[in-house]
Amino acid sequence: MKILVTRPEPGASLTAARLTSMGYEPVVAPCLAISRHAATLPQHPAAIIVTSSQVIPALPERYRNTPIFCVGDATAGRLREAGFNSVISASGDAKDLAALIIAHRLPGSYLLAVGARHGLALAQQLRKAGLTITRRTVYAATPARALPPAVRTALQDGSIKTALFYSAESARAFIKLNPPNTANVTALALSPNVAAVLHDLPWTTIRVALAPTEADLLAYLT
């Protein structure tokens, strides 16, 4: 069975490899392209806040032992693989991340490393809670301009039965590409926020992961 993967690289290739190992045929069509932004980062923040694994390439080696708060376990795993030694996962969504950070309340200034236009509400919430937040943009996500012809054909002829959506931003980008025949596709959404965006298209059904992890998302395939 063909499964459409819409997340950006490098996550798209990782998901594709996992789907292949499960016996599925991944169709990779990243709906966002990631570009890196040079940013001046503080020398020694008390802690770092990460909302996406796309931030990891921007984090310098001097942060190896700095506490890092992140949204989910997948990002936590990638941070550890990259050599960061003090990673604390909220194992949830942005609300869980905010609650985790506020509960720890480390003294000093926090670095919030994000994509362009991301993290504004989180920064505001944490500042209202009395924390000092330095927000820095380290990457940008640009929507794809068109679906690859082979992907459009696979949607049109009904050979793609399931599509995976990991973020509301990717879902919005996919919708703007005017994909055909989605009424014959099951959409799997990582969270309710992602699912809410997907309601702008017809689907066979929209299913939301029980927890915002890839394991829970892919559980619907078994």
Residues 19 and 68 both lie in one domain = no
- Strands, E assignment, 176-222: 186-189, 205-208
Residues 156 and 115 both lie in one domain = no
State the residue range of the domain holding 57: 35-141
Residues 135 and 177 both lie in one domain = no
Residues 6+ apart with CB under 8 A from 124: none
Residues 43 and 68 both lie in one domain = yes
Residues 137 and 159 both lie in one domain = no
Domain end call among 141, 162, 182: 141
- The tally of domains found in the chain comes to 2
Q: pLDDT-derived band of residue 81, with 50, 70 and 90 as boundaries?
A: very high
pLDDT in tens, 1-21: 999 999 999 899 999 999 999
Q: d(Cα 169, Cα 123) in Å, to the nearest integer? A: 19
Average pLDDT, the chain: 95
User: What is residue 42's predicted lDDT score, i.e. its pLDDT?
Assistant: 96
- Mean pLDDT of the 62-70 span: 97
For the record, the structure tokens of 78 come out as 């990638």
Percentage above 90 pLDDT, the chain: 88
pLDDT in tens, 120-162: 999 999 999 999 999 999 999 999 999 999 999 999 999 999 9
Cα 102 to Cα 57, 69, 99, 197, 205: the distances in Å are 26, 11, 5, 29, 37
Q: d(Cα 206, Cα 163) in Å, to the nearest integer? A: 10
pTM: 0.83
Domain end call among 141, 172, 202: 141
User: What is residue 212's predicted lDDT score, i.e. its pLDDT?
Assistant: 82
Residues 26 and 41 both lie in one domain = no
User: What is residue 222's predicted lDDT score, i.e. its pLDDT?
Assistant: 80
Domain end call among 106, 141, 176: 141
User: What is residue 193's predicted lDDT score, i.e. its pLDDT?
Assistant: 87
Residues 92 and 159 both lie in one domain = no
Residues 123 and 58 both lie in one domain = yes
Residues 136 and 158 both lie in one domain = no
Instruction: Pick left, alpha or beta for residue 3 (phi over 0 → left; psi -120 to 50 → alpha; otherwise beta).
Output: beta
Cβ proximity of 34 and 143 under 8 Å? no
pLDDT in tens, 32-56: 999 999 999 999 999 999 999 999 9
Q: pLDDT-derived band of residue 92, with 50, 70 and 90 as boundaries?
A: confident
Residues 54 and 125 both lie in one domain = yes
User: What is residue 115's predicted lDDT score, i.e. its pLDDT?
Assistant: 94
CATH number for 58: 3.40.50.10090
